[in-house]
A and B are shown apart, each in its own frame.
Chain A
Amino acid sequence: MAEDLVQETFLAGLKSRDTFSGGSSEATWLVGILKHKIADHFRRQAREGSLPDGDPPDPSGEPSFDATGHWQSGPTDWGGNPSDLFRQKEFLEEFTKCLSGLSPAQANAFTLREIEGLSTGEICKVINITETNLWVILHRARMHLRRCLETRWFARGTGKGS
């Protein structure tokens, strides 16, 4: 979804290229459009009644940590570090399913950070939140993805990257 927004931005940018004055830098201009797109998106979502973010329930239903902050059940051994995961179509499918389990805010933040490679400072300017807030969103996104991949991919015993 974040990539849709980025793509829409890029297309909107191309369409309005003629009106781009050159007064502001190209980046400011693109970021400006992206901000509008994201604001639109969240407005639409608010109208449709879904929550923009919040702490999503843990996919497995149990918290990762006990009351003292220790692991309830720690990460399992993934068996070496399979480095060719990205070549495996089945892994990609599971990964995409896991990504779609993120909240919209988490998916946006994660995509901009890890796929588009923006710094957290840049992302904050685009989606207008504090860095502290963004770190928390990214932390939850990573925690969710790790847990989801562990369940959907690494725990099934077969299909482990050779």
Chain B
Amino acid sequence: MMLSCKDVTQLISESMDHSLPLGKRIGVRIHLLMCRFCERYERQLLLIRETVRRLAAVGETPEGLFLGALSEGARERIRQSLRSR
């Protein structure tokens, strides 16, 4: 079955949260080889993720807005507690 661009955008997002089953992964890769827009979409989502992570990492900036809410220590603590389960 051929994946539409709509399907592929959903799967690109999903692949950022868990690893897709092999069949879907291959379907997406083949689609991306042929579709400039979806390929761009994936690149842009990854850029947004990377930017958000770096923003979170520099959360100390005075204009940190939404990211300044939690201190790095607090954030790390919550993260580690969750990991250690």
Chain A interface (Cβ < 8 Å from any Cβ of B)? 3-4, 6-7, 10, 25-28, 30-31, 64-65, 68-71, 74-75, 77-78, 81-83, 85-86, 89, 91-93, 95-96, 99, 111, 113-120, 122, 131, 134-136, 138-139, 142-143, 145-146, 149-150
Contact = CB atoms under 8 A, between A and B. Distances in A.
B5 to A, nearest CB: 5
Given A77-B40, A138-B13, A4 B69 contact: yes
B82 A118 contact: yes
B13 A135 contact: yes
- Residue among B38, B55, B84 facing the most chain A CB atoms (10 A cut-off): B55
Closest 6 pairs (CB-CB, A-B): A69-B4, A74-B37, A69-B6, A139-B13, A3-B69, A27-B81
A75 B78 contact: no
A75 B85 contact: no
Interface string B68-85: 011000110111011011
A115 B54 CA distance: 9
B10 A145 contact: no
Interface of B: 4-7, 9-10, 13-14, 16-18, 36-38, 40-41, 43-45, 47-56, 58, 63, 65-67, 69-70, 74-75, 77-79, 81-82, 84-85
Contacts of A28: 85
Given A25-B81, A81-B47, A114-B53, A71 B37 contact: yes
A114 B16 CA distance: 10
Given A135-B14, A139-B10, A116 B75 contact: yes
A7 B69 CA distance: 7
Contact of A70 (B4, B56, B77, B78): B4
Nearest to A72: B5
Contacts of A77: 40
A103 to B, nearest CB: 16
Nearest to A70: B5
B48 A146 contact: yes
